[in-house]
Each structure stands twice: as C-alpha cells, then as structure tokens.
C-alpha cells in the first residue's frame, strides 16, 4: 500500500513480511544462477567454435548470446539492490550465495577468454582481407606506357618503364 507495507497476500502464514523479502532475494539469486549457467554454457560453445575456426557456429550463437547478456546485466543490476541491503542477502542460503559466486568467477574467466579469441579471429580476418586487397591491387595492370618506338605496352604495378618521359620548359 501507500505506507510501504506489503499486501496481506505476500506475507507468510505468520504475518511476517521478512520471510517474503528473503524469498524474493532467493528467487533473484536462483534466477541469476540459471541465467549465468546458460551464459557459461553458451560462452564455452562459442569459445570452442572460435578455437576450431568455425565462424558459422559463432554467428549462429550471436542472437542467443545477446539475449543472455542483456538478461545477465539486468539481473546483476537487480543484485546490486540486494547488496545495498545486506540483511536481505544474509537471509539467502549460503550454498546459493557460494554457487553464485563460483559461477560469477567462471563467467568472468569465460568472458575474458571469449574476448581474446574474438580479437584473434578479428585480427586474422583483417589480415586475410588486407592480403586479398594487396593481391588484387598488384595484379591490376598499370596504365599503358609508350615505348621508345611509340607502341603502347601495359606495365604492371610492380613493373617500371624502361623509358622515362620528361618535358622541357623552354620559357626560361
């Protein structure tokens, strides 16, 4: 209601609102554990695909990764509210808190590995694109040049003309 009290139906059988708060905190922790577990699994699959150089698998995971990441960030923000009220967090089973802490460490390691593997893949793709662009550039014929006898001959980008053309300014 407007006075900040919980509605009657959210209080436990003994009329104790604290039980509801602990239950809500536990539900939040369980929800975060579930999402974090899915994110760890997805990152493991993506990291494996990156190590095996399977870009189609990586692409196929992108939408799910974006959805899980958004959900994870939202739940982490919600957990920040719980941390502001340690008495609520103390009501959560210690095994759940430890499990969440362990998963948090694991997801952080997986994210770091994922970032490294993505950087390697991006850099490798960039080098391939640059090598292809350089190969195309060097295979293109250069402008035609006139030979000493006036014939036009194509000289490749790596080649150079044997004859040098120049102009003389007689106005001096």
Instruction: Tell me what pLDDT residue 8 has.
Output: 43
For the chain, the average pLDDT equals 78
pLDDT of residue 171: 44
How confident is the model at residue 170, as a pLDDT?
A: 52
Please identify which residue in the block is written with the tokens 């040098």: 164
Nearest to 118 by CA among 64, 56, 40, 53: 53
The DSSP H or E segment spanning 56 is helix 55-84
Q: Could you give the CA distance from residue 46 to residue 7 in angstroms, rounded to a whole number?
A: 45
32: Cα separation from own chain's centroid: 20
Q: At what angle do helices 55-84 and 17-51 cross, to 10 degrees?
A: 160
Q: How far is CA 158 from CA 129, 155, 166, in A?
A: 20, 8, 21
pLDDT number for residue 154: 53
pTM: 0.65
Give the residue among 114, 130, 126 at the shortest CA–CA distance from 58: 114
pLDDT along the chain (172 residues), means of 10: 43 48 82 96 97 94 96 89 76 89 95 95 88 80 65 53 51 40
């Amino acid at each position: 209601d407007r006075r900040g009290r919980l509605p009657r139906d959210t209080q436990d059988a003994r009329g104790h609102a604290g039980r509801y708060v602990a239950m809500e905190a536990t539900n939040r922790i369980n929800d975060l554990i579930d999402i974090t577990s899915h994110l760890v699994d997805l990152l493991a699959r993506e990291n494996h695909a990156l190590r095996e150089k399977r870009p189609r698998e990586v692409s196929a995971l992108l939408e799910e990764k974006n959805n899980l990441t958004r959900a994870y960030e939202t739940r982490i923000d919600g957990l920040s509210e719980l941390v502001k009220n340690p008495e609520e967090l103390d009501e959560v089973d210690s095994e759940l808190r430890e499990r969440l802490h362990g998963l948090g460490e694991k997801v952080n390691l997986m994210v770091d590995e994922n970032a490294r593997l993505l950087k390697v893949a991006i850099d490798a793709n960039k080098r391939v694109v640059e090598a292809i662009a350089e190969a195309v550039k060097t295979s293109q014929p250069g402008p035609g040049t006139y030979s000493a006898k006036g014939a036009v001959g194509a000289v490749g980008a790596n080649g150079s003309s044997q004859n040098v053309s120049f102009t003389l300014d007689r106005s001096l």
